[in-house]
Amino acid sequence: MAEYKAPLREMNFLLHEVFAADELWARLPGLDGAVDRETADAILEEMAKLAANTLDPINRSGDEEGCHWDDGAVTTPKGFPEAYATFCEGGWGALLGNPEYGGMGMPKMLGAQVEEMITATNISFALYPILTAGACLAIDAHASEALKQRYLPKMYEGTWAGAMDLTEPHAGTDLGLIRTRAEPRDDGSYSITGSKIFITGGDQDLSENIIHLVLAKLPDAPKGPKGISLFIVPKYEVNEDGSVGGPNNVNCGSIEHKMGIKASATCAMNFDGARGWLVGEENRGLAAMFTMMNYERLGVGIQGLGASERSYQNALDYARERVQSRSPTGAKQPDKTADPIIVHPDVRRMLLTQKALIGGGRALSTYVAKWLDIAKFGEGEEKKNGEGMVALLTPVAKAFFTDKGLDCTIIGQQVFGGHGYIREWGQEQLVRDVRITQIYEGTNGIQALDLAGRKTVANGGALFELFAADVQQFIDAEVDREEMAEFVQPLATELQRLRETTEKMLAAAGEDPHAPGAASVEYLHLFGYVAYAFMWAKVAAAALPKLGEDDFYKGQVKTARFYFARLLPQARALAASINAGSATLMDIEEDLF
């Protein structure tokens, strides 16, 4: 396996040359000058070292050893506690946290790059701090001041970790069916009773306490999702002085034996009258949870991106070293018995497909993070637009990144041929690890339905128009640059195709209730391909004036050309599939399946 090299040049190029992040950070009032270019670059360089030197070396061993469960206690693989301590000592858990409680207050545009490096080197490890960060977001946005003071500083430190307890055996996507109960106590706390499954980091040996955010229903709660409340339920009670007290009737009943992410403890949790504290308002638990969902779902998408990058680095290194056959145009290395396989067109097709999908994904993750920062730190109409763009783009980022993530890891495995199927090369682990990203935090089918239904049809395409206007503004600004014609013209064509397809879907939804669901997955993919075209056009616009400075810019432009020529044409087929309607899906009787 190749040694991981963080793509810092690509990250810095996107932040500073494509998106002018330092200018945005300087003017967003809520950031209050917390970060500049020098600080951002230093943070990325330090994470690159941690990822390569601490997290990457324990990735394969963690997969082979996995987590262990014994009498309710979970043990993580060798090296994980030490790596977690190093991670926390560096203050990484506080990176995006609220400065009022010990966080650094950094923007998500920077955090997205940091997350990619962590997930590229060790998805299993990454899940522990990522879930803690998500729990912190919900607490910071909705909990009382007393709860924030009690929990956030320790969670930012990593001394205490967080877990999100949503799913139950009978209630996955439809959380309105949950049965976990919350009974009020005389002291203002609640007695939490019920069972949850698939709880990432529900138990572990990394932190001294685990702060569970649990969805439960009060005795008089309305039926369905409008009757769900959110509670803080620590594994161990917290004393008045902030120290850890006795057990809190929170128990891990078992851990799952999984296809991948084996070093991440996926737990079945039992709450037997555990003491909890209400977060936010009664029966408003889902609203509190959705505060962190946009960040978490982008984070899951970035896991797909990180796994893709790791697979690409492995495959590229192998393709340069592995010799097989001769180039179609004659020997490239006549002194050797064969040429490296990178000379062969099909191998180049695979590597360039990875490179183009990763580059488009990294740019789009930065773009979505930009809107998250605007929504969080901006004001007025800009803030409102940011919230709309985040709502629209979050399902695209989560689902398209992870669908393409699986594709990219499989392509990387394919470059190795038979060696890719063998454990020692690391490619098969990436395929297994990334597979879950299409499933958790809302399956990709649900993300597609969210995009087509709630985010498009439900508002008559208003959110889509925000995105389309941003793309059109770019097109209008670049249309007179002759050297940009090869990118701007096809982008304009595909934006129009996406617009027309959206309008047809909106019209069909008025007559056919099945229309949004039937179109949803293809619509999300169509949206994703057009969004990547937008990103690659922006990359080309920034790189073209600098072609003579550095081969890096030449590589960016040539990859953009590959994307437009070889990958973007898939948009036409997707649009045709969407426009075919729901009849062929719904007209077949169930007993004919």
Looking up residue 134, the CATH number of its domain turns out to be 2.40.110.20
Alpha-carbon distance values, 316 to 4, 332, 360, 564 (Å): 12, 17, 18, 22
The pLDDT of residue 197 is: 97
Read off the pLDDT of residues 364-381 as tens digits, 9 standing for 90 and up.
999 999 999 999 999 999
Which parts of 311-461 are beta strand (E)? Answer: none
Residue 467 lies in a domain: yes
End-to-end Cα distance, the chain: 44
Q: Which two tokens stand for residue 238?
A: 């917290």
The pLDDT of residue 173 is: 78
CA distance 472 to 485: 14
On whether both 281 and 415 belong to a single domain, the answer is no
Read off the pLDDT of residues 515-532 as tens digits, 9 standing for 90 and up.
999 999 999 999 999 999
CA distance 274 to 250: 6
Percent of the chain with pLDDT over 70: 100
- In the chain, how many domains are there? 2
Of how many residues is the chain composed? 593
Do 505 and 457 form a contact (C-beta atoms < 8 A)?
Answer: yes
Read off the pLDDT of residues 383-440 as tens digits, 9 standing for 90 and up.
999 999 999 999 999 999 999 999 999 999 999 999 999 999 999 999 999 999 999 9
On whether both 370 and 491 belong to a single domain, the answer is yes
CB count within 10 Å of CB 384 equals: 14
Residue 593 lies in a domain: no
State mean pLDDT over 458-482: 97
Do 12 and 48 form a contact (C-beta atoms < 8 A)?
Answer: no
Report the DSSP pairing between strands 250-255 and 244-247: unpaired
As a whole number, the mean pLDDT across the chain is 96
H/E element, 193: strand 190-200
Last residue in a domain, options 287, 304, 328: 287
CA distance 527 to 13: 24
Read off the pLDDT of residues 302-319 as tens digits, 9 standing for 90 and up.
999 999 999 999 999 999
CA distance 197 to 81: 24
Examine the pLDDT at 237 and tell me if it is beyond 80: yes
On whether both 529 and 381 belong to a single domain, the answer is yes
Pick the more confident residue, 2 or 117: 117
Read off the pLDDT of residues 105-138 as tens digits, 9 standing for 90 and up.
999 999 999 999 999 999 999 999 999 999 999 9
The boundaries of the domain holding residue 487 are 290-584
On whether both 283 and 305 belong to a single domain, the answer is no
The pLDDT of residue 139 is: 97
Residue 1 lies in a domain: no
Q: Which two tokens stand for residue 55?
A: 């997290």
Percent of the chain with pLDDT over 90: 93
H/E element, 251: strand 250-255
Looking up residue 383, the CATH number of its domain turns out to be 1.20.140.10
Examine the pLDDT at 176 and tell me if it is beyond 80: no
On whether both 237 and 374 belong to a single domain, the answer is no
On whether both 62 and 116 belong to a single domain, the answer is yes
On whether both 346 and 422 belong to a single domain, the answer is yes
Examine the pLDDT at 224 and tell me if it is beyond 90: no
Examine the pLDDT at 448 and tell me if it is beyond 90: yes
Residue 39 lies in a domain: yes
H/E element, 60: helix 59-65
CB count within 10 Å of CB 281 equals: 12
Examine the pLDDT at 295 and tell me if it is beyond 90: no
Do 136 and 142 form a contact (C-beta atoms < 8 A)?
Answer: no
Least confident window among 71-80, 104-113, 162-171, 524-533: 162-171
On whether both 385 and 523 belong to a single domain, the answer is yes
DSSP string, 224-249: GGGG-EEEEEESEEE-TTS-EEEE-S
The pLDDT of residue 387 is: 96
CB count within 10 Å of CB 70 equals: 7
- Burial status of residue 392 (CB atoms within 10 A of its CB: 0-12, 13-18, 19 or more): buried
| Residues with catalytic function | 441
The pLDDT of residue 427 is: 97
Examine the pLDDT at 225 and tell me if it is beyond 90: no
Residue 379 lies in a domain: yes
The pLDDT of residue 94 is: 98
Do 356 and 528 form a contact (C-beta atoms < 8 A)?
Answer: no
On whether both 244 and 295 belong to a single domain, the answer is no
